[in-house]
Amino acid sequence: MKLFAIRGGIHPDYRKELCAEKAIVALPLPRKLTIPLQQHAGAPALPVVAVGDVVGKGQVLAKAQGMISAPVHAPTSGRIAEIGDFPAPHPSGLTQRSIILEPDGRDAWADDLPAPIADPFKASARDIGDRVAASGIVGLGGAAFPSAVKLSLGTRHKLDMLLLNGAECEPYLTCDDRVMREYTDEVVDGARIMAHALGAPRVVVAIEDNKPAALAAMVKAAGAFANVEVVSVPVQYPMGSERHLTQAIIGLETPARKLTADLGVVVHNVATARAVHHAVRFGRPLVSRVVTVSGKGISQPKNVDVPLGTAVSELLAFCGGLSGTPKRVISGGPMMGQPLPSLDVPVVKGTSGILALTDAEVNEKPAGPCIRCGTCVTICPCGLVPVEMAAFIRKENMDGAAKSGVMDCVSCGSCSYVCPSHIPLVHYFNYAKGMINAKDRERRKTEQTKAMVEVRAARLEKLAEAKHKATAARKAPTETPGEGKASA
């Protein structure tokens, strides 16, 4: 298959060897699970259980609310101990509404799980979409966007291809690699079901060529199906970015403000495909995920199948704990992952990795003056000029930064990674995006306030008018309404 070049990108130190040959192991049931109501992009789920309820594994704990949302299920059987605010796996250190589940140790599936869909390829797109939505499946690559929303794109777009993202371009992470190697058939089956739901005639699985074993396994499994093709894409960070991978495969750039679906391509992660397989074939919702625990600050790096809601500390303990004091503990990959405020936060649907990185691995140094080397410009996969945007942001010129394209930045981290002056470019951009969004919210709020003031003023005027009319009518019953109005 002919591949197309993508712009820029970098070749970071991948360090996947720490974990690539470690088979997935299941984590023993923790004593307590903290299950946040929001583990996905969109609106938080609404609890449907109460404290004291006894729930079965896979039972709905909170239902989706709104167009973009996802339900949350019990990762194991047990008792609801508490519903309250607990620290979120988020750099802010803020809390979020979560359900505390005390496992009973039986790990028994609930009785009322939805029935398997006997022949998914005869089922309607809608039925499959509903099943995926009801199973709480979100993009497991890290973005955690509700998968059912993306699966419904086939209704509005004529699709050519389901592009299954097995690039796993983030350093350290090996969870997708292992899933493709160990659950090959499940991934391929899930992908075929998704393609069916999308109405896409082809499935293309893209895997970076630093995963030869996964490539071989997937090629073998895909051989049985004429419409499934596995391609090896070059190792080039950020190949796994949805738009860039699409460009590498079909050679087209997704226009700004459009979706890859507008080009006929829908991208899903390989682990998501496996979750769809479970949901459709067995009626089992998303209650666990494979997490790569790695970094030189981890005693025994592992790929672990973790029940959602498990505390990071518990997962780390299973991996032999931390060796020494790591410089950073992060959730996700080192390039786009988020630092964790503490080890007491839970593993959620979007947690692809927990990394404990040493000083030498993060190689942080104080920022120096920019020498305008232009490397950030050369490597920016989005064609932006990071050096210029950072200069605007330093001077608090958010309009300038926006004009120079900061909202197009995907925060892939490449520019910060290569900057010889160690300037925290992406941090500047994250700050600017936050400021611009906040200002946008303020502007909308002011508009709303203005509208509300006007509505009220109009209502009060009407009220006064009516009152006046009533008084006038009482005083002079013969007076015509027209005169009343004129004197008002």
Partner 1 sequence: MLMEVGISVGSLTVMGAALGAILGTAAKFLAVEEDPLEVELAGILPGSQCGQCGFVGCGPAAAALAKGEAKPNLCVPGGKAIAEALAKRLGISLDMGDHVEKVPEYALVKEDLCVGCARCLQECSVDAIIGASKQMHTVLPDICHGCSKCAEACPTEAIVMIPITPTLATWHWHKPAVSDHVH
Partner 2 sequence: MTFLPEKSGPFGHAETSVQKTMTLVLAALLPATLFNVWLFGWPALLLFLVTVGSCVAIEAGCLKMTGRPVQPTITDGSAVLTGWLLALSLPPWAPWWIGVIGALFAIWMAKFLFGGLGQNVFNPAMIGRVAVLISFPVQMTAFVPPKPLFTEGAPGLMESIGITFGETVNMDTVSAASALNFIKTELSRGIPVSQSMASVPGFTDMALGFHPGSMGETSALLILAGGLFLMAKRVISWHIPVSLIGTLLVMGTIFNLANPDRYLSGVFHVMSGATLLGAFFIATDYVTSPVSKSGQIVFGIGCGVLTWVIRTFAGYPEGVAFAVLLMNSLTPIIDYHIRPRAFGRTRKGEPLALTRKT
Interacting residue ranges for partner 1, rule: CB under 8 A: 38, 88, 90-92, 94, 96, 366-370, 393-394, 421, 423-424, 427-428, 430-431, 433-435, 437-443, 445-446, 448-450, 452-456
361 lines the binding site for partner 2 (CB under 8 A): yes
Least gap, CB of 270 to partner 2 (angstroms): 23
Provide CB contacts within 8 A for 323, sequence distance 6+: 296, 297, 298, 299
Of 29, 68, 219, 370, the residue at the interface with partner 2 (CB under 8 A) is 370
Q: Output 213 or 452, the one with its CB closest to partner 1.
A: 452
Q: Output 303 or 331, the one with its CB closest to partner 2.
A: 331
Q: Output 93 or 383, the one with its CB closest to partner 1.
A: 93
Q: Are 250 and 161 in contact (CB under 8 A)?
A: yes
Q: Output 279 or 355, the one with its CB closest to partner 2.
A: 355
Cis peptide before 386 (omega within 30 of 0): no
Q: How far is CA 439 from CA 400, 401, 433, 445, in A?
A: 14, 14, 10, 10
DSSP structure class, residue 181? H
Q: Output 285 or 334, the one with its CB closest to partner 2.
A: 334
Provide CB contacts within 8 A for 329, sequence distance 6+: 297, 312, 322, 339, 340, 343, 354, 355, 356, 357
Least gap, CB of 198 to partner 2 (angstroms): 16
Residue 96 binding result from partner 1, partner 2, none, given CB thresholds of 5 to 8 Å by partner type = partner 1
Least gap, CB of 328 to partner 2 (angstroms): 5
Q: Output 228 or 406, the one with its CB closest to partner 2.
A: 406
Residue 38 binding result from partner 1, partner 2, none, given CB thresholds of 5 to 8 Å by partner type = partner 1
230 lines the binding site for partner 2 (CB under 8 A): no
449 lines the binding site for partner 2 (CB under 8 A): no
Q: Output 8 or 190, the one with its CB closest to partner 2.
A: 8
Angle formed at CA 243 by CA 162 and CA 189, multiple of 5 degrees: 20
Compute φ and ψ for 458, nearest 5 degrees.
-65, -40
Q: Which two tokens stand for residue 387?
A: 């050096």
Least gap, CB of 355 to partner 2 (angstroms): 8
Q: How many residues of this chain interact with partner 2, rule: CB under 8 A?
A: 75
Residue 407 binding result from partner 1, partner 2, none, given CB thresholds of 5 to 8 Å by partner type = none
Of 155, 300, 342, 437, the residue at the interface with partner 2 (CB under 8 A) is 342
Q: Output 377 or 436, the one with its CB closest to partner 1.
A: 436
Residue 408 binding result from partner 1, partner 2, none, given CB thresholds of 5 to 8 Å by partner type = partner 2
Least gap, CB of 341 to partner 1 (angstroms): 11
Least gap, CB of 477 to partner 1 (angstroms): 30
418 lines the binding site for partner 2 (CB under 8 A): yes
Contact region with partner 2 (CB under 8 A), list: 94-102, 146-154, 274-282, 384-392: 384-392
User: One-letter amino acid identity for 147?
Assistant: S
Token pair 């991934």: residue = 187
Query: E strands, 249-301, where?
Result: 265-269, 288-294
Q: How far is CA 272 from CA 19, 289, 435, in A?
A: 21, 10, 33
365 lines the binding site for partner 2 (CB under 8 A): yes
Of 256, 438, 457, 460, the residue at the interface with partner 2 (CB under 8 A) is 256
Distance in angstroms (rounded) separating the CA atoms of residues 358 and 294 = 11
Q: Output 155 or 448, the one with its CB closest to partner 1.
A: 448
What is the spatial order of strands in the sheet that 24-26 belongs to?
Answer: 24-26, 302-307, 288-294, 353-357, 328-331, 338-339
User: One-letter amino acid identity for 196?
Assistant: H
436 lines the binding site for partner 2 (CB under 8 A): no
User: One-letter amino acid identity for 357?
Assistant: L
User: One-letter amino acid identity for 131?
Assistant: R
Interactions with partner 2, residue window 89-148 (CB under 8 A)? 91, 93
DSSP structure class, residue 138? B
Give me the sign of the Cα torsion angle 310, 314, 318, 319. Answer: positive
